A and B are shown apart, each in its own frame.
Chain A
Amino acid sequence: MKIWSISNQKGGVGKTTSVVSLGGLLADQGHRVLLVDLDPHGSLTSYFGQDPDGLERSLYHLFFEQRWRNVDYIRDTLKPTSLANVSMLPATTSLATLERQVSGQDGMGLVLARSLAQLWDDYDYALLDTPPILGVLLVNALAACQQLVIPTQTEHLALKGLERMVHTLKMVMKSQKRELPYTIVPTLFDRRTSASLTSLKEMRRTYQGALWDEAIPVDTRLRDASHEGLFPHQLDPNTRGVRAYRHLLAQLCGEKR
């Protein structure tokens, strides 16, 4: 199983859209994909028609009574999506209380990694949708993943969030004593605005080497797909957003550098 975390400590940068788009395209290539919602807001969970307030089981429950050891429990927690070869580990709003509940317990940053280890042969890829805040859930994602994707909106304030995210990543790598490759992905790019152009230029100057050399454009069809509960490529395989994500996927899979 390959595990990618889609993370940024700033909200509204396109994390959930990236998870769904990349997950759908991987599934389209025939891979078995698991999407994991670590955000208490449950955007990914809602995307596929599940209610984060109503579910009886979610990622939250794996943190207690060592349920992460129980593969049957984990499999029973998964939910289907609009594609047969894509499943989702949903979030519930109770995740918002996790920080307080597990405070002081050592090793709580490794629960997701251990849960995914139980599903190692069930899926080819796991994509993690993380909350836009530094806490136990983001640490779980960074500890579990082998590759990090940092979607960053092409606007000034998002650059600050990117700076914090890279700083956090470096500290986690130091704590874990391992290197974690990461790719910064400019998102919501609108070539008609100077804010987008200036921000992209700034990103290229500061993060050369880690920055993807293209950008995900603003595309209303991506939003339409979320309304329908479909993966974007199911709605329109040729929309410019999907085409851009296809290029990104090729880069992440090492097909293009």
Chain B
Amino acid sequence: MSGNTDVLMGYFDSLLTTLDDDPRKTIVSDLLAGAAAQVPDDDYTPVATDTIALGMRVIPLKPPAKVNGGAINRITALQLLTVVKTIPPSRLKLHILSCCAGVLDV
């Protein structure tokens, strides 16, 4: 796609998508719920709270006790999700969500 076409696609996606019926919103919720459920306890040192998700805002509160590439990737993906939720619906947003879904394996 040319840059011009990419800009127009973002414009069309924004005009033709509402937050009410945006399936991506459900995808994000599912991602968060799935990620929260799949954190392996032996990779982490628990801290004060046992929850990592508050609505759509993701706060990773269980840092890894040892270097663990998979865990770091998952935390990075969760942090990325908190950022991506602030940008309007677009093809870029969908791509980032897809990448996060791959990392989180959900």
Could you list which residues of chain A lie within 8 angstroms of chain B, going by C-beta atoms?
104, 106-110, 134, 136, 139, 143, 168, 171-172, 174-176
21 pairs, CB–CB < 8 Å, chain A vs chain B = A104-B88, A106-B14, A106-B15, A106-B18, A106-B22, A106-B88, A107-B15, A107-B19, A107-B20, A108-B15, A109-B12, A110-B16, A110-B18, A136-B15, A139-B12, A171-B5, A172-B12, A175-B9, A175-B13, A175-B16, A176-B16
Q: How far is the CB of A193 from chain B (nearest CB, A)?
A: 34
The answer to whether B8 touches A139, judged by C-beta atoms less than 8 angstroms apart, is no
Q: How far is the CB of A133 from chain B (nearest CB, A)?
A: 13
Give the contacting residue for A107; candidates B5, B8, B9, B17; CB below 8 A. Answer: B17
The answer to whether B5 touches A106, judged by C-beta atoms less than 8 angstroms apart, is no
- Given A136-B15, A139-B15, A172-B12; 13 other pairs, CB 8 A cutoff: A104-B88, A106-B18, A107-B18, A108-B15, A109-B15, A110-B16, A110-B18, A134-B8, A139-B16, A171-B12, A172-B16, A175-B13, A175-B16
Cβ contacts B19-33/A at 8 Å (1 or 0 each): 110100000000000
Q: Which residues from chain A contact B5 at a C-beta distance below 8 Å?
A: 171
Could you list which residues of chain B lie within 8 angstroms of chain A, going by C-beta atoms?
5, 8-9, 12-20, 22, 88-89
* Max chain B C-beta neighbours (<10 A), residue from A106, A139, A174, A176: A106
The answer to whether A171 touches B8, judged by C-beta atoms less than 8 angstroms apart, is yes
Q: Which residues from chain A contact B19 at a C-beta distance below 8 Å?
A: 106-107
Expressed in whole angstroms, the Cα–Cα distance for A172 and B89 within the complex equals 15
